[in-house]
Every structure is written in structure tokens, then in C-alpha cells.
Amino acid sequence: MNVEVRPIKTAAETALATNFAAVKRALPGAAAVSALREAAFHRFETEGLPHRRVEEWKYTDLRALMRDAKPLADAPDAAAKARARQAMAVLSSIEARTVVFVDGVFAPELSDLADLEAGLTIGSMAQGLASGDPHLVAHLGKLITTDDVAVALNTAFMGDGAVIRVAEGAALARPIHLVFVNAGKEPASVFVRSLVMIEKGARAMLVESHIGSNGDEDQVNAALELKVGDAAHVDHVKITGRGAGALHVSTLMATVGAHARFNEFLFTTGGAVVRNQLFVRFTGEGTVAGIRGASLLKGRQHADTTLVADHAVADCTSREVFKSVLDDEGRSVFQGKIIVRRHAQKTDAKMATHALLLSDTAEANNKPELEIFADDVQCGHGATSGDLDEDLLFYLRARGIPANEAEALLIQAFVGEAVEGIEHAGLRDALMDQVVAWLAARK
Amino acid sequence: MHLLEVKNLHVEVDGKKILNGLELSIGKGSVHAIMGPNGSGKSTLAHVLAGKADYVVTQGEVLLDGEDILALAPDERAAKGLFLAFQYPLEIPGVATMTFLRTALNAQRKKRGEPELLVPEFIKRVNEVSGKLGIDKDMLRRGVNVGFSGGEKKRNEILQMALLEPRLCVLDETDSGLDIDALKVVSEGVNRLRSPERAFVVITHYQRLLDYIVPDVVHVLSKGRIVKTGGKALALELEATGYAQYRDEAA
């Protein structure tokens, strides 16, 4: 290859190179994995951190936003685990099987691994890489290939994460809740990588929470590779909560097989700068998918959702609905691209993004795109942004509801429209409770 | 003391004068009809009483129990017992009717220093009233007015009025868009609420509604002022002659 290596410029880029040189030998995995890391890091060195002239990163200029690169997190000590135990008491109402990672490291003693249902295996990415698990090596990085630099950095530095498999036909009674807690004393960077394979006809619900106990100081790069097998029914809900990081970059790489049902939901209230990337590819016909999300941002929070839904085959239906509620100087970005390939006839894809601006200084950037190469499809997109409807507010207030309560009701209704896409009633209620708490904290 | 007194009320909307020195006094237990041609200021009066923004009061007073309410927010007026039944009730997707009703009722009670109504008692009261108005339980579970027909929306307004038990009810063209059956149901709902302690301002363009909600006093509004006041016979007279003479009179 005759690629010009771009000179590394920023402090963060330099620190990343220093960090990589220092830790690469200690990162888990034998020669094949090391080669994967080196190649990925080379990709980063070639491109540098993504910046505003890279179209996909136009609104989230990592080169400018990332002042430095924090050192890699230390393995959690007892104090960190104690802090994690407190922070992870979220969503207890859904009675999920909890799998906990503290500062990027699997914490089996905090996890619920007893009585695994038939067909369910749960393991650690670090252990799988270290032992050269052939199943893992065969699939890692193979579902979706991307040259995205954030993913490359994740591959270069990946430490731990979950490796989950739900065997053909298995139906999990309880949701699995992956809890990633940032609990270190000093600001650190955490690279987690998970691989989840839901095989043919299986049913699983996966919740992923990113939270912290020490405020938003950390830099998190999380990646999840998800295979939804033929006729499988999978829900994935990612919650980016308080303490998710000063910089939180997350990538979902998912393939969805034939006649499957797939429901994705992103719920974001935390993090200072959040980037959620979703690369979803339909690989089998007759599938129905919902890809939705809600972000509630205040202060100077910035949350970017960048979605590529790739209808590579015919006869799939997808609904994309993203809502953001923006207070203070909060800023939301939605870049959604639906690709309909030449043979993907009868695709039915509709994308909508709505922003509610609660202050004059809030900002919403919406960039929906359709790339359609087939000629017999139904596709559309819509984007709106605005403030609360004065007439609706008057109607509520004329019934005796004070202004702040009336606003809260309308905001809940606005967010609720997206949250309704989640099938699990308990989780819907838990998220709406978080919306109510967010609104209460606003006053 | 009158329950409601409107004195020399002047109102502008977008710099345009709509009400020009309107005077109106309403005692407890009475039903006043306000009739008038389109553009005479009927709906403006309704909205100004309820406290909608964008209606600028340049002169005058609106007294409820002798207290000027013009400086109060819409929710404060509601807690004091003022209710506006909207001509075009709004749809609020995502806010269940039951949540809306309970939030409104308890917000008013709280402001009046009364204890919040417990859920079983609340549900019992909703069921009592909604049954009489022909509002089924499925409608109450849906978003406020979402998917409701015009008639159902108006019945929902009366349901809210019955639950909130206001002392002054302002009905803004409640008859518009109603067929004769719906008109009867809505009117019966209103008539059940008539009491010596409660007064009604029934705003309408047509005499038809007043066959069912029989007023004590009829006012004719033209160009932002009351130009004639009489008994219920005045409504019938208007039905026969139309509003043409009042347009000229106010000019």
C-alpha cells in the first residue's frame, strides 16, 4: 500500500500513540489479535481523529473536542467496585440478569451469572481474546466492516466486554443488562468491545447502561457487534446515563437476518459529548425493525446520533424515530442515512427526527439522507424542530395545570412517542421515570 | 356582589381593537347567552376571561368575586373557579385523558389548599360523569382528544367541567360542529351542572343551542360591545331577523 502517513498533530493524537505503544503488549490476545490491533491503529494514524471536514463527523469534531487522551483505566480496586455497586442500582425494576463491567473490566462478583437459561452463554471478551476462543476470533470485526476511525481505535485498544451467545431457538425469560460503570478515582479512558450473537429463532432482550460514579470525566469508546439471526426477535436498549463520560463514543454494528424482529433504542441523558453510531445492515428478507431514540440534554451537553440503515435485501420494513429535548445550550445532532440497494425492492423505510428546543440557545442539527437504488420502494423522512406548542400549553393551563407541570406533561408526551417503541413495558416505565426525574431536576 | 363583572373592557389582538368597552355583570346561578355575528368579539371575550396570551387588555377590569383576575395566570384563574369550554378542543397525543384530568383536578385542589383526591375516589367520580356523557373507558385511556370526533371532543369538555366543578363556566360555541343528538347530550351535561352557586356564559352564533340550555339573559355583542340585552325571547327574535341591524347599530 502506498498510503501517506499523516503526521500526528494534536496532543490527544500524540497521547493515543504513546498509550498504544505502552500498553499494546499487555492487551489481551495472541498474534492474530495483535495484528488486528496494529492494523486498526495504523488506520487511526493514517486518518487522525475525525474532524469537521470528514462528512460523517461534521457536527462532532473529535479533533477539536478531544483536548487530550486520558491514560487507560486501571483495573478496578475494591473501592472502585464498591462505588460501582452503588451506581449500578439502576433499572432494578426490570429484574434483568445483570452483567457488570467496572472501568471496562468484567466484574463477575457483581454480576448475576447463576442458573443461565438453556442456550445462553456469557463470557468475558478479555478472556476470550487471551485464550484465542475460536468462535470469538471467527466473528470479531466480521459482521459489519467499517473504516470508521472510532471503531479502529476501539479495535486497537479493546480490553474487555461481553461475549454472549443465545443458541438457536432459545428464548430468554429475563433481559440481560450489561452495566458499564466508570468508577475510577482519576479520569481515564475505557475501551470496551462486546460481541452478541443471537442465533436463528432465538428471543433475547439486551439492555446496555453506561453510567458513572465520579461525574463526567472519563473517555469511553464502546463497541458492540450484534448478530440478529434469521427469525430471531431481539431488543437492544442502550442507556447513556450520568457519568457516561466527558467523551462517550459508542458504535453498534448489527446485522439482521431474515424474518427477524429487531428493536433498537438509544436513551441519552448523560455524558458531556456523546456520539452514538449505529451501523445496521439487513441481510435477510421479511424483517421488521424499529430504530429509535430519545436524548434529553442540558447545560452544554452534545449528543450526536449517526445512523446508517442499510437495506441490502428486499422486503424489509424499518422505522426510525429520534427525539431530542434540548435545554440551556444543549445540542443534538441526528445524521440518519437509509440506503436501499438495487435488489432491495419492496423496502418500506420511514425516518423521522424531532427536536424540542426549550431555550433560545439550544441547537438541533438534523441531517436525514435517503440513498435509493431500487425502484419499487416506500421511503420517506421528516424532520422538525421547534418549541412547545403555546396553544396546547394554554389548554392545559386553562384547566388549572401550572406552567411548569404543563410543560412537563407535553415534554413527556413528546419523548413518550419514541419510548413507546420499546416492547418491554417495565423498561418503558423505567425510562419514562427517568424522563420525569430529568424534568424535575430542570426546575 | 356579582360573580363576574366586566367593566369597560378594551382588548387588542395584533394591534387590532376587538373589544371596545364591553360591560357585563353576571350573578350566581344565572345563565347568560352572548350572541353576535362573526367577528363581533365573542371568542375574544372567552379567551380574555380565561387568560390567553396575545390578547392585550388596554383598558378595563374583569372581576371574579370582586377580585381583578386580569393579572392572574390561566391556571390561577382556573383554580379560582373559572372554566372555558373550548370551541376547538386540542388534541394532546401522549397525554392520557385520565392523567390529564387527574393532574388538572389535583393542581386546582392543591392551589386551593385542599387535599389531593386519591385515585380510587377520582376514578369513581370520572366513571360517574363519563357514563352520563356516553364517554367510554377506552376513550379515557387514549391521548386527550386524540382520534375523538367533534362531538366526542365537546363531550370531553363537559366531562372536564363536571369534574373540576367551576363556579363560572364559559362555553365558547360549544354547539359548533355538533349534530342534534350530540347537542342534546352536551346540553343535558351542562343543565345537570346548573346550580344556585354556579353561573354560565354561553357564547353562540345560533339560537338552536338555547332551546336546550335555556338562558336567563341574552346579550347581543357587536363590534366589541354589548349592544342589546334582553330575556330569552331576544334569541328567538335574532333567529328571525338576523344580525344585520346590530351591525349597523354599532357602526
CB contact under 8 A, A401 and B103: yes
Q: What are the residue boundaries of the structural domains of chain A, listed by start?
A: 76-388, 389-443
Residue B241, pLDDT > 50, answer: yes
CB contact under 8 A, B100 and A396: yes
The count of other CB atoms within 10 Å of the CB of residue A219 is 24
Question: In chain B, which residue's Cα lies nearest the Cα of A417?
Answer: B94
End-to-end Cα distance, chain A: 58
| Residue the block writes with cell 481505535 | A153
Residues in B closer than 8 angstroms to A406, CB to CB, are 75
CB contact under 8 A, A399 and B78: yes
State how far the Cα of B212 lies from the Cα of B191, in Å rounded to an integer. 8
Does this model's pTM top 0.80? My answer is yes
Residues in B closer than 8 angstroms to A413, CB to CB, are 92-95, 143
C-alpha cell at A79: 473501592
pLDDT at residue A8 in the model: 60
Number of domains in chain B: 1
State how far the Cα of A250 lies from the Cα of A270, in Å rounded to an integer. 13
State how far the Cα of B47 lies from the Cα of B49, in Å rounded to an integer. 5
**Could you tell me if A407 and A435 are in contact, meaning their C-beta atoms sit under 8 angstroms apart?**
no
- Cβ partners under 8 Å of residue A402, min gap 6: B73, B75, B107, B111
Residues in B closer than 8 angstroms to A404, CB to CB, are none
Mean pLDDT of B240-244: 86
Mean pLDDT of B232-247: 86
* Residue B250 to chain A, least CA–CA distance (Å): 31
Chain Cα centroid distance, residue A290: 15
- Cβ partners under 8 Å of residue B157, min gap 6: B85, B86, B89, B174
pLDDT (tens place) for every residue of chain A, 443 residues total: 555 555 568 999 999 999 999 999 999 999 999 999 999 999 999 999 999 999 999 999 999 999 999 999 999 999 889 888 887 777 888 899 999 999 999 999 999 999 999 999 999 999 999 999 998 988 999 999 999 999 999 999 999 999 999 999 999 999 999 999 999 889 999 999 999 999 999 999 999 999 987 666 899 999 999 999 999 999 999 999 988 889 999 999 999 999 999 999 999 999 999 999 999 999 999 999 999 999 999 999 999 999 999 999 999 999 999 999 999 999 999 999 999 999 999 999 999 999 999 999 999 999 999 999 999 999 999 999 999 999 999 999 999 999 999 999 999 999 999 999 999 999 999 999 999 999 999 86
State how far the Cα of A120 lies from the Cα of A125, in Å rounded to an integer. 16
State how far the Cα of A145 lies from the Cα of A153, in Å rounded to an integer. 14
pLDDT at residue B251 in the model: 42
Residues in A closer than 8 angstroms to B95, CB to CB, are 409-410, 412-413
Phi and psi for A92 in degrees, rounded to 5?
-65, -20
Give, for B163, the enclosing helix (H) or strand (E).
helix B150-164
Chain Cα centroid distance, residue A81: 23
pLDDT at residue A167 in the model: 98
Domain of residue B233, CATH code: 3.40.50.300
Spatial CA neighbour of B174 closest among B205, B130, B217: B205
Chain B CB within 8 Å of residue A334 CB = no
Phi and psi for B133 in degrees, rounded to 5?
-95, 0
pLDDT at residue B249 in the model: 54
pLDDT digits (tens, 9 = 90+) for B17-75: 999 999 999 999 999 999 999 899 999 999 999 999 999 999 999 999 999 999 999 99
SS3 annotation, A326-395: ECCCCEEEEEEEEEECCCCCCCEEEEEEEEEECCCCCEEEEEEEEEECCCCCEEEEEEEEECCCHHHHHH
Q: Which residues pair with A297 in a beta bridge?
A: A326
Instruction: Give the model's confidence band at B250: pLDDT under 50 very low, under 70 low, under 90 confident, else very high.
Output: very low
**Could you tell me if A389 and A358 are in contact, meaning their C-beta atoms sit under 8 angstroms apart?**
no
pLDDT at residue B240 in the model: 87
Mean pLDDT of B146-165: 93
State how far the Cα of A431 lies from the Cα of A439, in Å rounded to an integer. 12
CB contact under 8 A, A400 and B50: no
CB half-sphere exposure, A196, CA atoms < 13 A: 26
Torsion angle in degrees (nearest 10) through CA of A75, A81, A86, A89 = 80
CB contact under 8 A, A401 and B143: no
Interface of B with A (CB under 8 A): 50-53, 73-75, 77-79, 83-84, 86, 89-90, 92-95, 99-100, 103-105, 107-108, 111, 143, 160, 164
**Could you tell me if B35 and B6 are in contact, meaning their C-beta atoms sit under 8 angstroms apart?**
no
Chain B CB within 8 Å of residue A4 CB = no
Mean pLDDT of B68-94: 95
State how far the Cα of B41 lies from the Cα of B22, in Å rounded to an integer. 10
| Residue the block writes with cell 482519576 | A186
Residues in A closer than 8 angstroms to B78, CB to CB, are 397-400
